[in-house]
A and B are shown apart, each in its own frame.
Chain A
Amino acid sequence: MKYIKQFSIIIIISFLGECVKALLPFKIPASVYGLVILLVALLCGIIKLEAVKDTAEFLIQIMPVMFIPPTVGIMVAWDQIKSMIVPFCVTAVLSTIVVMVVTGHISQLVIRFKKRKEGRQ
């Protein structure tokens, strides 16, 4: 019964996420609304961590399998991208490296600024 209860909570929250999406005009996926709803419910103590934990961990663990069909879909989209495969890959690789450097440095600046301030006190 434990899993039925946990799964029910998760599905109901997913449905609430879809409701919020239908009500709001933003291009935000229902799943992200659901994520925020579950987080708030956990923070407020409306839902206890134990009430969803096991099923949540199971679903997160099997997530990679859910990505297989869309990835295999590349074989259908291939004709569409053949001509731009090089710029596509270059953009994907370089933008990832730049993001890493920027996020790393900005957060490092903040951390070191904080440390210096604390050191002075």
Chain B
Amino acid sequence: MIEFLTDSAVFGVALSLLAFQIGVFVRKKTGLSFLTPLVTATVIIIIFLVASGIDFETYNEGAEILKYFLTPATVCLAVPLYQKLMILKKNFAAVILGIVSGVLTSALIILAFCLIFNLNHQVYVTLLPKSVTTAIGLSVSEELGGIISLTMAAIVIAGNVGGMFAEIIFKVFRIKEPISKGLALGTASHVMGTSKAMEIGELEGAMGSLSIAVAGIITVIVLPIFANML
């Protein structure tokens, strides 16, 4: 049985898609925004693999073809960015200054925490791209020599924090401008932050999806400089 699955070309992909569908169903039924299909699917697959005794490599052999599409899909992020470019032009200073300060803050805070907790270089570069959209974050982590599945975990954490605490944070720290809310969510919590921003309002959502690509580009320029600091 296991041999058959190892040889199967589509087993990994089929398992991933099926688990994802269950994840979509679970979120719809429970209405819990932090329970994204990705999180549910991951838990289901890990449980399935452990229970059936299939190792990760066997699963990944087939599933890895999904990774092939990551580069073209990331390229396609240019399309929503292009569609939102008018709003970027109108608020250029606020967008660029807001996002640049966010990206720099993220890197500095992570550097500080890694020094405080005595975490090594590999964990440091693994954490660095955690606020950026997954596709770019994973490539950056790989590029800098991080552990990509850990970067993935950090990205999921960053997304959930934004989704769950945004409204409290905006209230406590008195962030009231719709544009600022969108930028903050998109820069700190990428796609998951942006879907929260879309819930808050249309302008917030537009700014959020704009920040994803802009923060991604700024991050890839800035991070290699930070990578050598620890």
Contacts and interface: CB of A to CB of B under 8 A. Distances in A.
A105 B175 contact: yes
Contacts of B75: 10, 13-14, 17, 31, 34-35, 37-38
Contacts of B60: 69, 72-73
A23 interface: no
Contacts of A38: 75-76, 78-79
A11 B72 contact: yes
> Which of B76, B140, B147, B183 has the largest count of A CB atoms less than 10 A from its CB?
B76
Contacts of B74: 29, 31-32, 34-35
A46 interface: no
A114 B12 CA distance: 53
A66 to B, nearest CB: 5
B73 A100 contact: no
Contacts of B63: 68-69, 72
Contacts of A57: 76, 79
B163 to A, nearest CB: 10
A69 B102 CA distance: 29
Interface size class of B (residues with CB under 8 A): 35 or more
B216 A112 contact: no
Interface in B114-169: 114, 117, 119, 123, 127, 130-131, 134-136, 138-140, 142-144, 147-150, 152-154, 156-158, 161-162, 165-166, 169
B113 interface: yes
B185 A96 contact: no
A73 B180 CA distance: 35
Nearest to B219: A32
A91 interface: yes
B70 interface: yes
Contacts of B185: 100
B200 interface: no
A19 interface: no
B87 interface: no
A70 interface: yes
A87 B222 CA distance: 24
B82 A39 contact: yes
A107 B184 CA distance: 9
A107 B177 contact: yes
B147 A106 contact: no
Given A28-B143, A70-B148, A100 B162 contact: yes
A52 B20 contact: no
A4 interface: no
Interface in A8-27: 10-11, 13-14, 17-18, 26-27
Given A32-B74, A69-B12, 7 more contacts: A35-B217, A39-B81, A43-B82, A75-B50, A75-B56, A88-B127, A110-B97
Interface of B: 12, 16-17, 19-20, 36-38, 41-42, 45-46, 49-50, 56, 59-60, 63-64, 66-67, 69-83, 85, 91, 93-95, 97-99, 101-102, 105-106, 109-110, 113-114, 117, 119, 123, 127, 130-131, 134-136, 138-140, 142-144, 147-150, 152-154, 156-158, 161-162, 165-166, 169-170, 173, 175-177, 179-181, 183-185, 187-189, 213, 216-217, 220-221, 223-224, 227
